Chains A and B, each alone.
Chain A
């Protein structure tokens, strides 16, 4: 298995905690933690297996650090890259846009040739709509700190087990 990077904003608290849990679940010291606030093309492209932390902001937007990187992503050839997305949303507070950030990022990455992995079932979630939904599955891992925080560890552990196979 090639070296894996978890890219997320080091300024975040909740997303950062999930990133730490993912790293811990992998139980692999070689997994790199990369700050999305300082991401550059060459850093991003240096990994073939990437886990991206993409929270949803406002009423369905990417956070600035990702949004400002989109023009760079749109110029990349991501063929051969395996990318898994995890996102944080609030099913009750923002039920119309649950995990939209993950959905938006998924569309951008796929358009550049990336292979997305780590899809998860929507079972156990209750929201109105999500751009991250394809059929019965999210295009990544959905974390809801506000309403289902107690399920985070199990969800992360299960997802990492899945990724170990899909990254292999």
Chain B
């Protein structure tokens, strides 16, 4: 119970009470009638009723200031968003997924209310993962020294997710202005909270966290909720660190329309949660303390009914999205290079190593754009800049506000990149997603989430992030320092995937990535960081567009299509065959895997008629399968033999060098396959 008594049944002015009541009545009316839309096959197939959370949801919305704050509601937050300003019509448009739904035109699930224009963010169905986004945007608010708070709202059971602990740990450590609201109705679908964690009040799990204040309130009570949220917001402003508000609620109905709570709740419980209906309590208080007469309340109730009726009518007349629109807003248009439209140059200066190309490009971009940031594990401590020193010297030059370490929590690194990017679209964020690509898997839920933010918000929010990962093997690193992950990433729409091999291409692609809107996965062939074989001259302003492959060798007998660590192996073989008069070969370095340079691929196929696909990753399920399929579909009649593939064996990569060599492709295997094809 809050000790703050700013609001009470006796003191709060009548106009405010009437406003609250109307919001609650409209919200509840829509909450109650939402299942009817499904019964009539109109839509709203997912509805998580909020009834029983009325007090805290009204309060969250009321303290939200759209000029300064960011709100991350969860799927039960209908009244929260209505109280924050979404109209009844906007709620219904979201519920029945119409094209004019302000959250994203019916692309995201119903009951995911949002208005990105007002910083009421379009959040995931992956419950509670927006805690990381709230932390990320709060980091930006702190760095740019603007007032306001990020408010994250979720159910108590979703606090069990590991990323919620990562988020609260990070907010506490970075002292960020975040209010984490836990709406505790005692259940995660049918799972009682006793099955989630030992404390009945999960907020108390965080009592040992430094820089964190925990408030408890009665989420069923309008005044206690209002007073607590006001106090929480003032506390964040005064102490400049995060708070948790744990609000006790009841869930009057089932979890959603796919749940039947009578299967696991007895009549006694169903009866008493009804008796503790927050709206009914508020109404009783208004009468008991003579703030309103029955006639006055009935007048407000009639107004609310009229609002809902009109909203329903408008919603039913709203347009449906068109099927053709599915291809809109998959990924934003990239930065366009005017000077290097094909990503080629004629510079003949001194050669630079790939690692230096990356380091110098990062620095150059950070010099020209003050709204750039980079973080990750291990990226900045004195003379060390990343496990491979790619970011060496950056913190010294750009300071700790822009170049800083992240905790060993990959999902936090990725999720806060998504969140920080929400601050405004000028920001360009680079993260080392993990120490090695192999350790990126914990971040996959945030990465997948980030892949469809742009689409599901109908272009209203673009995460502008370059995710750098040191990838591949050949360093004796074993199972967890050798993995290639591109075959798992390229199926995700909304992500660009690049995997350069040479220093100039790495520099040029990194510049394009950082300057572009959208998400780019930038895979770095770590075995080549310091290789002289891939060292090249690099123009200071070099740019490589996405989706532009590069012929590293030209010939007429065979095409090798490759990328990453295997490109220099293929080049070496091509040179050997040429020198020995065996064959002349095209070596096409893809550079970008998504988007893919279909034209360059088909052109080389048509030229030579024989194709060998080479990559470091496993042949089975590897990206090469997509290339073979493309060639088969688009250039079958030009082939003079089967498209063959060389890659890793279908095994993990062993640590012992003998095992590693047995797994990874080498020049002998490529030569053998190339020879077979030439002789076909």
Instruction: List chain A positions with a Cβ less than 8 A from chain B.
Output: 57-61, 64, 67-68, 71-72, 75, 94, 96-97, 104
Q: In the complex the two chains form, what is the Cα distance from A94 to B193 in whole Å?
A: 13
Q: Assess the B284–A59 pair: CB atoms within 8 A.
A: no
| A-contact 0/1 string along B281-295, CB 8 Å cutoff | 100110011000000
**Minimum C-beta distance from A91 to chain B (A):** 13
Q: Assess the A67–B221 pair: CB atoms within 8 A.
A: yes
Is B565 among interface residues, defined by CB-CB distance under 8 A?
Answer: no
Q: A68-B284, A104-B1 are in contact. Are A61 and B248 (CB under 8 A)?
A: yes
**Minimum C-beta distance from A38 to chain B (A):** 11
Q: In the complex the two chains form, what is the Cα distance from A20 to B221 in whole Å?
A: 31
| A-contact 0/1 string along B190-215, CB 8 Å cutoff | 00000000011100100000000000
Q: Which of B9, B248, B288 meets A58, CB within 8 Å?
A: B248
| A-contact 0/1 string along B1-24, CB 8 Å cutoff | 100000011100000000000000
Q: In the complex the two chains form, what is the Cα distance from A60 to B298 in whole Å?
A: 34
Contact residues in B for A60 (Cβ distance below 8 Å): 216
For chain B, the count of residues having a C-beta within 8 Å of the partner chain is 21
Is B275 among interface residues, defined by CB-CB distance under 8 A?
Answer: yes
Q: In the complex the two chains form, what is the Cα distance from A59 to B249 in whole Å?
A: 10
Q: Assess the A68–B281 pair: CB atoms within 8 A.
A: yes
Q: Which of B204, B216, B275 meets A64, CB within 8 Å?
A: B275
Is B165 among interface residues, defined by CB-CB distance under 8 A?
Answer: no
**Minimum C-beta distance from B371 to chain A (A):** 45
Contact residues in B for A64 (Cβ distance below 8 Å): 275-276, 281
Contact residues in A for B9 (Cβ distance below 8 Å): 71
Contact residues in A for B281 (Cβ distance below 8 Å): 64, 68
For the A-B complex with A64-B276, A68-B285, A71-B285 known, give 15 more contacts whose Cβ atoms are closer than 8 Å: A57-B276, A58-B248, A58-B250, A59-B184, A59-B200, A59-B201, A59-B248, A61-B248, A64-B275, A67-B218, A71-B10, A72-B289, A96-B200, A96-B201, A104-B1
Q: Assess the B288–A94 pair: CB atoms within 8 A.
A: no
Q: Assess the B288–A68 pair: CB atoms within 8 A.
A: yes
Contact residues in B for A58 (Cβ distance below 8 Å): 248, 250
Contact residues in B for A96 (Cβ distance below 8 Å): 199-201, 204
Q: List 21 A-B contacts (CB under 8 A).
A: A57-B276, A59-B184, A59-B248, A60-B216, A61-B218, A61-B248, A64-B275, A64-B276, A67-B218, A67-B221, A68-B285, A68-B288, A71-B8, A71-B9, A72-B289, A94-B200, A96-B199, A96-B200, A96-B201, A96-B204, A104-B1
Q: In the complex the two chains form, what is the Cα distance from A64 to B8 in whole Å?
A: 16
| A-contact 0/1 string along B645-672, CB 8 Å cutoff | 0000000000000000000000000000
Residue of B184, B201, B218 with highest tally of chain A CB at under 10 A: B218
* Top 6 closest pairs, chain A to chain B, by CB: A71-B9, A59-B200, A58-B248, A59-B248, A71-B10, A96-B200
**Minimum C-beta distance from A64 to chain B (A):** 6
Contact residues in B for A72 (Cβ distance below 8 Å): 289
Closest B residue to A61 by beta carbon equals B218
Contact residues in A for B200 (Cβ distance below 8 Å): 59, 94, 96-97
Contact residues in A for B201 (Cβ distance below 8 Å): 59, 96
Q: In the complex the two chains form, what is the Cα distance from A68 to B288 in whole Å?
A: 9
Q: In the complex the two chains form, what is the Cα distance from A72 to B199 in whole Å?
A: 33
**Minimum C-beta distance from A23 to chain B (A):** 26
Q: In the complex the two chains form, what is the Cα distance from A153 to B137 in whole Å?
A: 59
| A-contact 0/1 string along B203-241, CB 8 Å cutoff | 010000000000010100100000000000000000000
Q: In the complex the two chains form, what is the Cα distance from A165 to B361 in whole Å?
A: 86
Q: Assess the A71–B289 pair: CB atoms within 8 A.
A: yes
Contact residues in A for B184 (Cβ distance below 8 Å): 59
Contact residues in B for A67 (Cβ distance below 8 Å): 218, 221
Q: In the complex the two chains form, what is the Cα distance from A109 to B201 in whole Å?
A: 27
**Minimum C-beta distance from A46 to chain B (A):** 19
Q: In the complex the two chains form, what is the Cα distance from A73 to B275 in whole Å?
A: 22
Q: In the complex the two chains form, what is the Cα distance from A9 to B97 in whole Å?
A: 47
Residue of A60, A61, A72, A104 with highest tally of chain B CB at under 10 A: A61
Closest B residue to A108 by beta carbon equals B1
**Minimum C-beta distance from A40 to chain B (A):** 9
Contact residues in B for A97 (Cβ distance below 8 Å): 200
Q: In the complex the two chains form, what is the Cα distance from A67 to B284 in whole Å?
A: 12
**Minimum C-beta distance from A87 to chain B (A):** 16
**Minimum C-beta distance from B181 to chain A (A):** 16
Q: In the complex the two chains form, what is the Cα distance from A155 to B304 in whole Å?
A: 52
**Minimum C-beta distance from A156 to chain B (A):** 25
Contact residues in A for B288 (Cβ distance below 8 Å): 68
Closest A residue to B11 by beta carbon equals A71
Closest A residue to B272 by beta carbon equals A57
Q: In the complex the two chains form, what is the Cα distance from A92 to B145 in whole Å?
A: 48
Contact residues in B for A68 (Cβ distance below 8 Å): 281, 284-285, 288
Contact residues in A for B216 (Cβ distance below 8 Å): 60
**Minimum C-beta distance from B375 to chain A (A):** 38
**Minimum C-beta distance from B402 to chain A (A):** 44
Q: In the complex the two chains form, what is the Cα distance from A96 to B199 in whole Å?
A: 8
Q: In the complex the two chains form, what is the Cα distance from A58 to B201 in whole Å?
A: 11
Q: In the complex the two chains form, what is the Cα distance from A64 to B218 in whole Å?
A: 11
Closest A residue to B284 by beta carbon equals A68
**Minimum C-beta distance from A63 to chain B (A):** 9
| A-contact 0/1 string along B240-281, CB 8 Å cutoff | 000000001010000000000000000000000001100001
Q: In the complex the two chains form, what is the Cα distance from A59 to B216 in whole Å?
A: 10
Closest A residue to B204 by beta carbon equals A96
Q: Which of A59, A61, A75, A94 meets B10, CB within 8 Å?
A: A75
Contact residues in A for B204 (Cβ distance below 8 Å): 96
Closest A residue to B199 by beta carbon equals A96
Contact residues in A for B250 (Cβ distance below 8 Å): 58
Closest B residue to A97 by beta carbon equals B200
| A-contact 0/1 string along B314-346, CB 8 Å cutoff | 000000000000000000000000000000000
Tell me the residues in window 612-665 of chain B with beta carbons closer than 8 Å to chain A beta carbons.
none
**Minimum C-beta distance from B291 to chain A (A):** 11
Tell me the residues in window 167-205 of chain B with beta carbons closer than 8 Å to chain A beta carbons.
184, 199-201, 204
| A-contact 0/1 string along B509-523, CB 8 Å cutoff | 000000000000000
Q: In the complex the two chains form, what is the Cα distance from A62 to B200 in whole Å?
A: 17
Contact residues in B for A71 (Cβ distance below 8 Å): 8-10, 285, 289
**Minimum C-beta distance from A131 to chain B (A):** 10
Residue of A58, A60, A75, A97 with highest tally of chain B CB at under 10 A: A58
Closest A residue to B194 by beta carbon equals A93
Q: In the complex the two chains form, what is the Cα distance from A67 to B1 in whole Å?
A: 11
Tell me the residues in window 463-515 of chain B with beta carbons closer than 8 Å to chain A beta carbons.
none
Q: In the complex the two chains form, what is the Cα distance from A61 to B275 in whole Å?
A: 14
Residue of B9, B200, B221, B289 with highest tally of chain A CB at under 10 A: B200
**Minimum C-beta distance from B669 to chain A (A):** 64
Closest A residue to B218 by beta carbon equals A61
Q: In the complex the two chains form, what is the Cα distance from A75 to B5 in whole Å?
A: 13
**Minimum C-beta distance from A66 to chain B (A):** 12
Closest A residue to B285 by beta carbon equals A68
Contact residues in B for A94 (Cβ distance below 8 Å): 200
Contact residues in A for B221 (Cβ distance below 8 Å): 67
Q: In the complex the two chains form, what is the Cα distance from A85 to B248 in whole Å?
A: 24
Q: In the complex the two chains form, what is the Cα distance from A133 to B184 in whole Å?
A: 25
Closest B residue to A75 by beta carbon equals B10
Tell me the residues in window 31-56 of chain B with beta carbons closer than 8 Å to chain A beta carbons.
none
**Minimum C-beta distance from B652 to chain A (A):** 47
**Minimum C-beta distance from B250 to chain A (A):** 8
Q: In the complex the two chains form, what is the Cα distance from A21 to B101 in whole Å?
A: 60
Q: In the complex the two chains form, what is the Cα distance from A60 to B1 in whole Å?
A: 10
